[in-house]
Structure 1
Amino acid sequence: MFGLFDSTKKAVKKYNKVAHKIMALEDTMKAMSDEALKNQTKIFKDRIKNGETLDDILVEAFATVREASKRVTGLTPYFVQLVGGMSIHDGNIAEMRTGEGKTLTAVLPAYLNALNGDGVHIVTVNEYLAKREAEGEIGDLFRFLGLTVGLNIRDLDREGKKAAYACDIMYSTNSELGFDYLRDHMVLYHKDMVAQRGYPYAIIDEVDSILIDEARTPLIISGPAKQTQNLYQQSDRFVKSLSDHEYELDVESNTVELTPEGIAKAESVFNIENLYDLSHVSLLHHINNALKANFTMFRDKEYMVVEGEVLIIDQFTGRVLKGRQFSEGLHQALEAKENVEIKKETVTVATITYQNFFRMYKKLSGMTGTAKTEEDEFIEIYNMSVIEIPTNKPVIREDAKDYFFVTAEEKYQALIEEIKRRHEIGQPILIGTIAVETSEFLSMELRKHRINHEVLNAKNHEREAEIVAKAGQKGAVTIATNMAGRGTDIKLGEGVVELGGLAVLGSEKHDARRIDNQLRGRSGRQGDPGFSRFYLSAEDELMVRRGGDRFRTIIETLQRAQATGEPVTSKMITSLITGAQKRSEGVNSEIRKNVLRYDDVLRVQREIIYAERTSILTKETVEEEVIKFIETIVEAEIDEFIIPHGRNKFEIKDEAIVHHFESFLIPKGMVKIEDVNEMDEVEIVNHYKDLAIKLLVSKKEVVPQEVYNEFLKVIMLRVIDTYWMRHIDAMSELRQGVRLQSYGQQNPLIIYQKEGKRMFDEMRYNISKDIARYAALGRIELNVSREAVVKNTSTNQGEDASKQKRKQPKRAHRSQLPWNRR
């Protein structure tokens, strides 16, 4: 850790020197007219064209933005914001406390990097923030300096998106960027790709939220559905019928599985011999999902049910993720559990993880208030160091010691008393909770005590901006889940400073220390006073999962020793909890790395297929590629009929060859057996190659060249897309299947890699074979046109425009039930 701390010190020292040079230009810039200041952009662009680097012009460019900001927004970037801007420009993460002006800091490196004409993407956690910056003062600042500003949101059509991507600066959300990338590699014409310039430079706001918290969920575009609803209901009924001794729940790792008795019961109920036989992968997967849904996931904590729909609650922000689904059938398992309509499980047609998407950028950087605890992961996966930027004014907030109680009841009682005491003097209070149910329970308690308050949780997020704006006013009491943490600033009302600023009271600790720090950081911005304290009990989820009885015993012992009825404060328990949080962070980090290890297998395959696809879209003609496919296929297919017998002697199965090629490459009757009899092993291969190529090339005689070119492109795109989509779905099934392999002392990842490569090679061979076949035997229609293989695609973050119609469920005969299919 010393080395990492050192890197911050060294970097800040270097940036401080440059920041003094920028400050020294203040008077020169002040003397410039608006026109002269705007003209700086053109001067800088010319200097770059003449060979200067971005670093050469950094001092003057930052000074220009600083002066322009004063004129457009009335805000002048502080010295520490210049330091933050430089660390972002260097491809690092600037860790800046709440209220230190991250938004304005990002303008400095964004302006500088936009001067080379490649474009800069500024990534925010939600569309509200993206819109606020692009359309507000920050956007005006870029526009004042002569740069174009785009906003990329979900509602835009393709032309609107293309225009946004073509801008110097584009604001977007992380999910929209990822989905655009996947959709760009499903288009049928190159002109329809929205990211024409690729992925040059990204500045990610709240970088830990996007690259760490959301990295466990890959982005998925899905196509028409699979039929498996019945299996969800059967599995759910089975799991609900289990007795305690038939399943085992591991509280610490939050996992659940069948005991030997439970396995025997499953085999009897589903009438099968061995649940762990590979032919029952699908059934076992459904049972595991039903176990997870019934025993490890709770309504109003991980999800809510609203109007017959299961909605996910984001565990890091407390928001409802509208339209998003748990993947791999877990969502359908929850729908079965809650007895609401089960949505069809869809087929994955394109997918990527955030880690692999953002690693495609030539340069990546970010900013947040809390990233240092995850620095190792940022360095290992993204090659970004975390640079702690000093605050503009010293932080004077009082972070009080944690209070410990034996039971949750005692904890909430003490918390309510503290709220009453502070509310009586008018001090604004922010109460942090980690679940919707806790926020609603505390809201009920406050109503009993007639304390007016606002609740900011997943059920009430529409009024978020309004609630946050008032949270720092005199007498305000706000209960919030983790969502009050990001991209919002709580400003203090009149007379609040004298009362001690905003008091932040945490009702529980989160698995990750960052989230607790984020809550604390709501208070004490820009040198304001403030207070924070966490109230904890031995019954809290984190304490129970990480050794509940031990905590209970320690707290009870300490309580007896005091005998004053006061809450317990103890360095020992605090350090035990910090240790528990570190372990949780480690576990979560390992889960993310594992997601990445699996996606890396797919990433290599995805990049090969996407590169081939893009090359088809951009080339004038693909005839050469098609001819290569024909030659490869003839050689490979003939191989099994030419058997070596001693040195340079071969047995040629003439009749078999003729029959075989008639079935897929050459029209019937075109080759006679007596012709083949006369040929040796080399002549026969060349004969078939020539015939197939002639069949292909002869098509040019009947249609214009452009129709012929289009015919070949249509074949290649259609075949590649069909096979690739099937392959992705097969890889997803393989991944679920290899989990079972760990029971046989084998590493599932290695099996996934080997089997995945074998499947990919097989798919590429089949692609070549189909392209060769259709190109040789196909007839060209004059009105040939490109068509998408999958229509009505939706994403795992909400439906796309074309909604699918519901079909009536069909009854299945016993022989057709999913677990009876082989």
Structure 2
Amino acid sequence: MLGLGTIAKKVFGTPNDRKVKSVRPLVEKINALEPEYEKFSDEEIKKKTEELANRVQQGESLDSVLVEAFANCREGAKRALGLRAFDVQLMGGIFLHQGNISEMKTGEGKTLVATFPAYLNALSGKGVHIVTVNDYLAKRDAEWMGKVYSQLGMTTGVVYPFQDAEEKRTAYKADITYATNNELGFDYLRDNMRATVEEMMQRGHNFAIVDEVDSILIDEARTPLIISGPSQDRSELYITLDKFIPELTEEHYKLDEKQRNATFSEAGNDFLEQRLSAAGLLPEGQTLYDPESTTIVHHVNQALRAHKMFKKDQHYIVRNGEVVLIDEFTGRMMPGRRLSDGLHQAIEAKEGVSIQPENVTLASVTFQNYFRLYDKLAGMTGTAATEAEEFADIYGLGVVEVPTNKPIARKDDHDQVYRTQREKYEAIIKRIRKANEKGQPVLVGTTSIEKSELLSEMLKKEGIKHNVLNARQHEQEAMIVAEAGKLGAVTIATNMAGRGTDIKLGGNVEFKVMEAIAADPEAHPDEVRARIEEAHKADEDAVKEAGGLFVLATERHESRRIDNQLRGRSGRQGDPGRSSFYLSLEDDLMRIFGSEKLDAVLSKLGMGEGEAIIHPWVNKSLERAQAKVEGRNFDMRKQILKFDDVMNDQRKVIFGQRLEIMQADDIEEIAQDMRHQVIDDLVDEYLPPKSYAEQWNSEGLYATIMEKLTLDLPVIDWAKEDGVDQDEMRERLYKASDDLMAEKTAAFGPDTMRQIEKQFLLQTIDTKWREHLITLEHLRSVVGFRGYAQRDPLNEYKSEAFALFENLLDGLREDVTQKLAHVRPMSEEEQRALLAQMEQQRTTGKAPEASEERESAASQPAPGFDEADPSTWGNPGRNDPCPCGSGNKFKHCHGRLA
């Protein structure tokens, strides 16, 4: 009997069917324009692009020009590549333009599909990014599809690592830019560390089409992108904290050896607070539970772990004054590998060796939050339906299954389950031999490089010729995958291999033509192609006769999607094919999910050596197990994202502020607002609201105004005057500080002063943000323990991160105000000393025979020069010698920092 849902689907169709049906009228309209556009000259195709772009930029919607744009793009592709897009490819393009994921099977031509929405959305003039999984595919697709865009009168760029800055900037200015997800993310972070708008690479985030969207937005989204750099030297802190640990008794801490973790008890926290306060590391009145204590708590915890959880000559050795880790599985040393988050430094302090600086995060972003910056996002893959919930929940993307151009003729066998891995591998070798003897190409899927090498050894013993795919060389990988459909080919591939290149039955014509022309450069390309195409047809027919590509998987993955990717390599464009999964009860997935029950069933069935169980129920139970694992992984990623969202909101504020400051010609008003806010805070602190004049701390206010604003004002006398309240005091301080800055502006010149303000503000934002990132990292590592106190770690993290961000903004205002108050032009005497020094450098040069006195004089910094305080550098021109005494031009020395 049919269920109600099944009956409803038969009557109304599935939601997916309805989506596909809804775009058919658009496809028909595009097809109706084909005869008209075929008559266009090449020049008229480009003119059509200009006309459409003008209409869009004058306010017409992209949807209203979709039919004309797609018709023009199809004609451009036909002329540039000789490829005419099928109706289903146009459908896939429409779904991408609508901000969906188009799930299209392998071999349906996704690379060409992307050109349609990319062309349409580039008409706005805001640029389109097409995201690929590796640099090889980015370059290949940009070159290949660039011919189509060129035919249409548009520009194409490609972005890759270690690219020349000007070339990269030009690539981002192109109408369509191809790049990997990593490079896009890193460029975004780098752009938000630049000093001027002109240095920035990206020009906003308009529309991105992500190829292999499941791989990029789910598999690779587990780890964030991080730009790191060396931190300040904290050796003293590690050494000081290390001295406290031997004083601890067993009541002060708890050990969890399973998790290799150590935590302080209540008594331990009290003891630490006393010792840290005595050492001056914990300010008076501050406890270890305060948000400001997060960093110190983190380092004390690491010192405890270093002493109690890491044993010398078991977890590490000390060699040549260096702590070298030992691999717990192999027992081998791991030189160059270091523990993160200050743990390695804590062990170095414990062993009394030289402490190497930590690497600190300068900027970081998750792929989830990077791709959510785009106004519109779309994606393509052969397998997305199993993760539809995650795409919808995190990225707001719908998944639409696009019908295949020709019906799928592949046969998918039921899983075969063996009792042991040995039996399974023996059965796999027999099956490969059987297929190989009749010339059927076999693609063997494994879950790891180790297992692919094991299978390779077994095939060598059997004398079966084969290729092993490893992911190290993308170009070679594409070549092997392209040839995997040849008669009698056997190819072993890990799940990461072979994406983005079709396996064509009989081999790949394009690769064969390239090889033939490379072997005989004198031959005419057209004749070579004609000869190869004729021979290829016979090869293709022979492979089809043998049953098409046979995909043999040696294990099921945790994700059904990866199994489906492998299966989908066979049966492209209606080709025949077969897929089969060989499993054993010793496989990881089977072991974790109820292999004991299955083993009992197999025993009752009285299965002999080498026999397999083959039943649809096995498939169903495995898919349920995989769905559970996928759900658990999704929940973990969602939890990580919730924490990152807190930082992401703050990141957007900081990066937005930086951009505003860089774009502003004059930030005098921002500097004044900050100065006035600092004065407000100081008045509230020393002359509290609703208090009497006798209760005011006017001496404290005088000293702080002197220190922070360099103003020597009769604040104490003002406080004694009748009728002077907090507001009057504020106004007088505002005026005095504004007058001081006006004097500085007159002394430096308005343009120079505006530049100084901008540079100080940007430098301070960057410094404060880096410190804030470190604090947030430490907070996140310790906040989990709040769960033991029945408090939600995420809520705790949110509230403390917010408080820390407010502290950051307060500190930012104070630092910028103080630096601007202290900056001053160089006196005549300082300028004379600097000129004398420059003259001395000019006459002596850097000749080795210069006397010691001259060398020392030539390297003397200008009077009052302080490396850490730009306000002491005076105001040298960009091409003047640097006041530090290096002899280099200012712009090549400290001017790079200013």
TM normalised by structure 1 equals 0.82
**1:721 matches 2:766:** yes
Deviation at 1:553, TM superposition (A): 2.6
Q: Which residue of 2 aligns with 1:803?
A: none
Does structure 1 residue 88 correspond to structure 2 residue 133? no
Question: In structure 2, what is the equivalent of residue 538 of structure 1?
Answer: 585
Corresponding letter in the other structure for 1:162: R
Tell me the distance in 1 between the aligned counterparts of 2:303 and 2:83: 61
Q: Which residue of 2 aligns with 1:616?
A: 661
Task: Tell me, yes or no, if the aligned pair for 2:469 and 2:492 is still in contact at 8 Å.
Answer: yes
| 2:167 is aligned with 1:154 | no
AA at the equivalent of 1:662:
M
Deviation at 1:343, TM superposition (A): 9.4
Tell me which residue corresponds to 1:60: 68
**Pair 535,303 (structure 1): closer, same or farther in 2 beyond 3 Å:** farther
Amino acid at match of 1:202: A
Contact 1:7 1:387 in 2 (8 A): no
CA-to-aligned-CA distance 1:253-299 (integer Å, 9 cap, x gap):
xxx56799xxxxxxxxxxx9x9x9876432577799989x99xxxx9
CA offsets per residue over residues 455-512 of structure 1, 9 Å max, x none? 1124666621221122111121111101224212111111211101111111111111
| Equivalent residue, structure 2, for 1:525 | 572
Aligned to 2:780: 735
CA RMSD of aligned residues (A): 3.6
- d(CA) in 2 for partners of 1:82 and 1:601? 40
Residue in 1 that maps onto 2:196: 189
Which deviates more, 424-433 or 542-551? 542-551
Q: Provide closer, same or farther for how the CA distance between residues 343 and 303 of structure 1 changes in structure 2, counting only shifts above 3 A.
A: farther
Residues 750 and 180 (structure 1), Cα distance of their counterparts in 2 relative to 1, 3 Å cut:
same
Q: Matches of residues 423-434 of structure 1 in structure 2 within 5 Å?
A: 423-434=436-447
Q: Give the equivalent residue in structure 2 for 1:747.
A: 792
Change (3 A) 1:758 1:259: closer
SS in 1 for 2:138: helix
Give the conservation status (yes or no) of the 8 Å contact 1:203–1:366: yes
Q: Tell me the residue number matched to 2:211.
A: 205
Amino acid in structure 1 at the alignment position of 2:591: V
* C-alpha separation in 2, matches of 1:729 and 1:356: 19
Structure-1 separation of matches of 2:79 and 2:585? 55
Q: Distance in 2 between matches of 1:228 and 1:538?
A: 52
8 A Cα contact 1:642 1:650, kept in partner: no
Structure whose alpha-carbon radius of gyration is higher: 2
> What SS does the aligned partner of 1:27 have?
helix
Deviation of 1:303 after TM superposition, in Å, equals 13
**2:871 alignment partner in structure 1:** none
Matched-pair contact (CA < 8 Å) for 1:93–1:365: yes
Write the distance in 1 (CA, Å) between the matches of 2:727 and 2:234: 51
Post-superposition offset of 1:61: 1.5
Q: How many Å separate the matches in 1 of 2:175 and 2:262?
A: 59
Q: What does 1:587-602 correspond to in 2, within 5 Å?
A: 587-602=632-647
How high is the TM-score relative to the length of structure 2?
Answer: 0.75
CA distance in 2, matches of 1:531, 1:208: 24
Q: Does residue 572 of structure 2 align to residue 552 of structure 1?
A: no
**2:461 aligned residue:** 448
Residue 388 of structure 1 aligns with which residue?
401
Check the 8 A contact 1:182/1:351 in 2, yes or no. yes
Give the partner amino acid of 1:677.
K
Deviation at 1:194, TM superposition (A): 1.1
Q: Percent identity?
A: 43
Gap change, CA 1:643 and 1:25, over 3 Å in 2: closer
What amino acid does structure 1 have at the position aligned with 2:701?
I
In structure 2, distance between residues paired with 1:606 and 1:53: 32
Matched with 2:803 is 758
| C-alpha distance 309-79 of structure 1, shift in aligned 2 (>3 A) | farther
Q: Confirm or deny: 8 A CA contact 1:650 1:681 kept in the other structure.
A: no
Q: 2:717 aligns with which of 651, 674, 695?
A: 674
Cα–Cα, structure 1 residues 482 and 79, in superposed 2: closer, same or farther, change >3 Å? same
User: How much has 1:713 moved relative to structure 2?
Assistant: 0.8
In structure 1, C-alpha distance between the alignment counterparts of 2:420 and 2:434, rounded to whole Å: 22
Q: Does 1:464 align with 2:477?
A: yes
Tell me how far apart the structure 1 counterparts of residues 68 and 472 of structure 2 sit (CA, whole Å).
Answer: 48
Q: Are the aligned partners of 2:231 and 2:359 in contact in 1 as well (CA < 8 Å)?
A: yes
Q: Is 1:396–1:530's contact at 8 Å kept on the other side of the alignment?
A: yes
Deviation at 1:43, TM superposition (A): 2.1
Q: Within 1, Cα distance between the matches of 2:301 and 2:142?
A: 49
Q: Distance in 1 between matches of 2:406 and 2:760?
A: 65
Letter of the 2:781 counterpart:
Q
Contact kept? 2:137, 2:500, Cα under 8 Å: yes
Letter of the structure 1 residue corresponding to residue 601 of structure 2 = I
- What do residues 99-132 of structure 1 show as CA deviations (whole Å, max 9, x unaligned)? 0000011111111111121111111111111100
Alpha carbons of structure 1 residues 124 and 404: separation in structure 2 relative to 1, 3 Å: same
C-alpha separation in 2, matches of 1:387 and 1:290: 52
Q: Deviations over 1:405-460 (max 9, x none)?
A: 11111111111111111112221111111111111111111111111111112466
Tell me how far 1:135 sits from its aligned partner. Answer: 1.5
**Equivalent AA in structure 1 for residue 170 of structure 2:** A
Q: Find the partner of 1:577 among 622, 628, 644.
A: 622
Structure 2 stretches of 5 or more lacking a match? 243-254, 264-274, 276-287, 289-295, 316-325, 347-354, 507-538, 826-873, 880-898
Contact 1:289 1:330 in 2 (8 A): no
SS of 1:702's equivalent in the other structure is: helix
2:876 corresponding residue in structure 1: 783
What is the 5 A alignment of 1:377-416? 377-416=390-429
How far is 1:552 from its partner? Answer: 2.8
Distance change >3 Å, CA 767–CA 521, structure 1 → 2: same
Give the AA of the match of 1:537.
Answer: S
Are the aligned partners of 1:711 and 1:784 in contact in 2 as well (CA < 8 Å)? no
2-structure distance, mates of 1:502, 1:283: 58
Partner of 2:870: none
Counterparts in 2 of 1:410 and 1:228: CA distance versus 1, 3 Å: farther
Q: How is 1:300-699 mapped onto 2 (pairs within 5 angstroms)?
A: 345-458=358-471, 463-493=476-506, 494=539, 495-558=542-605, 560=606, 565-643=610-688, 651-667=695-711, 669-671=712-714, 673-678=716-721, 679-699=724-744
CA distance in 1, matches of 2:595, 2:663: 61
Hey, what's the Cα distance between the residues in 2 that align with 1:226 and 1:289? 26
C-alpha distance in structure 2 between counterparts of 1:216 and 1:199, whole Å: 22
Once the two structures are overlaid, the 10-residue window that deviates more, 396-405 or 10-19, is 10-19
Q: 2:745 aligned with 1:710, yes or no? A: no
Are positions 1:20 and 2:63 aligned together? no
CA 1:259 to 1:631, structure 2 compared with 1: closer, same or farther past 3 Å? closer
User: 1:140 and 1:288 mapped to 2: Cα distance?
Assistant: 63
> Which of these residues, 192, 215, 218, is aligned with residue 221 of structure 2?
215
Number of aligned residue pairs: 725
User: Which residue of structure 2 lines up, in the alignment, with residue 282 of structure 1?
Assistant: 302
CA displacement 1:20-69 (0-9 Å, x = unmatched) = 22122222222222222232112212332454322122112111111221
Q: Secondary structure at the match of 1:483?
A: coil
Q: Is the 8 A contact 1:511 1:581 kept in 2?
A: yes
> What secondary structure sits across from 2:14 in the alignment?
helix
Q: Once the 2 structures are TM-superposed, how far is the Cα of residue 573 of structure 1 from its aligned partner?
A: 2.6
Q: CA deviation at 1:660?
A: 2.6
Distance across 2 between alignment mates of 1:304 and 1:588: 31
Q: 1:156 to 1:633 in 2, by over 3 A?
A: same
Report which structure shows greater RCO (CA 8 Å, sep ≥6).
1
1:139-192 C-alpha deviation (Å, 9 max, x unpaired): 111001100111111122322222111111111111111111111111001111
Counterparts in 2 of 1:782 and 1:343: CA distance versus 1, 3 Å? closer
The DSSP-based 3-state class of the residue aligned with 2:228 is strand
- The residue matched to 1:474 in structure 2 has which SS? coil
Note if contact 2:481-2:498 (Cα within 8 Å) is conserved in structure 1. no
User: How many Å separate the matches in 2 of 1:607 and 1:16?
Assistant: 40
Name stretches of at least 5 consecutive residues in structure 1 with no aligned partner. 235-245, 250-255, 261-271, 311-324, 334-341, 787-822
Name the stretch that deviates more: 735-744 or 388-397: 735-744
CA contact (8 A) 1:428 1:472 kept: yes
CA contact (8 A) 2:693 2:720 kept: no
Aligned AA for 2:553? G
